[in-house]
Amino acid sequence: MPVQRSLLGRPFPPMPPKRVAVLLSTIAVFAVFTLVFTLPNSIPSGPSLGRFTDHKIPMPKLPKTLSPSILNPFRQAAHAPPVQKNSTSGDASWYSNWNWMSPFSSSVTLDENRSLLPPLIDRPPIYTYYDHTLQKEKDHKDAENAVLVTWRRAWWAQGFKPIILSPAEAMNNPLYAELQMQELEPYLKTELARWLAWENMGTGILCHYLLLPMGSHEDPLLAFLRRGEYPQLTRFDHLGSGLFAGTKGDITAAVKQALSNKALKEAGDFIGAVSPETFKIDPKHGALAFYDTRTVKEKYSKIADEIENDGPSGLMMLNKLTISHLHTTWQNTFSKGIAVLKPQADHMTAAILPARKLAEFLTQCPSSPLPSSCPPNNPHCKPCVASLPLKITTPSVYRNTSDLYTIGTVPHPFTTALLSPLYDSSESELTIPWIRRKSKRDPWLTTITAELCGTGMSGAPRVVKFKDAVASQYGTAHSLWITAERDMPDDLDWYFGFTIPRNVTDKGESETPVPGPERKPNVSSGPRTLEPEVTEEEASLMKERALLKRAVEFGQARTPEDEKLRKAIEAWNLADTEAWRFARAFLERSRVERKRWEEEERKYAGGKAGAERGMSEGWGRWFDDR
């Protein structure tokens, strides 16, 4: 008796074997075509290599060896891209490439642990000249050192590579001999040495260390300077010798012109020593604040007097003033306040505590010798008023608003699952069946991008949006993304470009008790246990803390059982995992980039001059109490 075949439950008449073969091969060809042409299309637009290569192949051939990638099993097995220099740190590793916007890194890096990051943006060099060889009192040197640190930090945060030049660079210049032969006033001689040092380095920006960038990241002038291409030797109207930008050829020509000037002795400064046509004078410099002697005398006379009385202490005051102005500028840029993302309103309090605390620090008024003063480049600023601080909000979604700063905390899917309202912590263990039956896929990313992408979108385009928010130039200037299981980066001051005030005044209204250093929770004597009753809110916070601790420990444990569970959770939440890895790698790379630069700079005399020297205390103790 022939076998009864059925299609969708309905029997259909037996077919001769030849027609079966034709039908089957038609289906097979159709299936292959569908796979090949829909897979690349499911990846959203963006610079993806696949878009350009896959479509050139006229007839798809099935590769003999298949790649292990889950996403595209029909891809030919390939070598993973080469490991780049300094591209690992702890567990995080990354590969920087221009096609970083692909939703899933592993489809390019062929390694689930390696995230695909945007190429590091070249930081154009900005030079300042500081003569560390001059004999001065120690406290004078310390004050100048503090000023130099402020200068380096402010320019670093704006995307430059600040470099301190010293007489060593000037002497390295072949033209130095010519300078030595001239008999000049000490001021003019220093000025020329400064130019020789710059000429020795080449194309870039020469900046006085009392000139600081005070504007938003998108300011057109800062954006122009960041591009690193200076068609003409440029100086700025009213800024004197504060800032020059130019290419090596132009700098050399200017220096030669000055040195061969017969009337060099009579010239007051470098600008006077060359013909006026040497420079293009830019009248727009709204984002540059120059604290030269004249400005300080005019606008901040209290400090000018102090400098006259006692140089070092006056300089320290000036330094404090510039830091407070940098902070005020930042607060004015983000006038809508700070959004600390909190996607699961009732369950994320502990996880976002460090982010929230950072937000509180940032909304503080900086301590300043002239509290209501404005930077010299922006007389109409809004000075920080303690009674009207910036708003801190805790929205559940990411909003792309230009004057809102976002601090995001990205949890690993395991952490999300532990903290999720669905998870009943009385259930002894998180198990694979629980994940599959009860938990939603990618809950964190779906919530965060709900407004950006709407609902009903799959994980891949959400990840792309997320990556844009984290790592694009615009994104880095408007947000900071940390992972929930790790500590805050310890060089936060360098992200923002000023010393972040580290003490929170007791406003008595903050939701969560924020202990100061002296009230550090001692296991038995935290402020919480002093209260007779533990409120419901605090009990849930304590529970969250315990769960978070478990999540952190889980991340460090590597038992085979844990690994299995971890793999299952990561596979279930592909997009959340990708987001977490991406944020982790991006933050680590910024840290490594800065460390490397510090290492490089330390070799030079200038590096010693602008080093932090324990001035900045670590952040660890401020955030480790969640």
User: Contact residues for ligand NAG (CB under 6 A)?
Assistant: 85-86, 91, 111-113, 367, 400, 452, 465, 468-469, 474, 501-503, 505, 522-523, 525, 563, 592, 595-596
Residues 6+ apart with CB under 8 A from 502: 361, 617, 622
Q: Which is nearer to ligand NAG, 420 or 449 (CB)?
A: 449
User: Are 209 and 151 spatial neighbours (Cβ–Cβ below 8 Å)?
Assistant: yes
**C-alpha–C-alpha distance, residues 488 and 220, integer Å:** 31
Q: Which is nearer to ligand NAG, 308 or 617 (CB)?
A: 617
Q: Which helix (H) or strand (E) holds 578?
A: helix 574-602
User: Closest separation between CB of residue 504 and ligand NAG, Å?
Assistant: 9
- What residue type is assigned to position 198 of the chain? W
Q: Which is nearer to ligand NAG, 111 or 487 (CB)?
A: 111
User: Closest separation between CB of residue 229 and ligand NAG, Å?
Assistant: 22
Cα-flanking dihedrals φ and ψ of residue 90, to 5°?
60, -135
Q: Which is nearer to ligand NAG, 55 or 567 (CB)?
A: 567
Q: Which is nearer to ligand NAG, 266 or 506 (CB)?
A: 506
**C-alpha–C-alpha distance, residues 166 and 607, integer Å:** 10
User: Closest separation between CB of residue 401 and ligand NAG, Å?
Assistant: 8
Q: Which is nearer to ligand NAG, 239 or 471 (CB)?
A: 471
Instruction: Measure Cα distances from 414 to 33, 555, 585 in Å.
Output: 37, 9, 18
User: Closest separation between CB of residue 294 and ligand NAG, Å?
Assistant: 29
Q: Three-state DSSP class for 576?
A: helix
Q: Give the pair of three-digit tokens for residue 50.
A: 């696949």
Contacts 24+ apart (CB under 8 A), 610-619: 610/130, 610/145, 610/148, 610/149, 610/151, 610/152, 610/162, 610/164, 611/145, 611/149, 612/149, 613/145, 615/146, 615/149, 616/493, 616/499, 617/502, 618/490, 619/487, 619/488, 619/489, 619/490, 619/492
User: Closest separation between CB of residue 115 and ligand NAG, Å?
Assistant: 12
User: Closest separation between CB of residue 465 and ligand NAG, Å?
Assistant: 5
Q: Give the pair of three-digit tokens for residue 371.
A: 């509290």
Q: Which is nearer to ligand NAG, 111 or 292 (CB)?
A: 111
Q: Which is nearer to ligand NAG, 292 or 468 (CB)?
A: 468
Name which of 141, 136, 135 is nearest 613 in CA terms.
141
User: Are 314 and 302 spatial neighbours (Cβ–Cβ below 8 Å)?
Assistant: no
Entry field: residues in the chain:
626
User: Closest separation between CB of residue 28 and ligand NAG, Å?
Assistant: 32
User: Closest separation between CB of residue 481 and ligand NAG, Å?
Assistant: 12
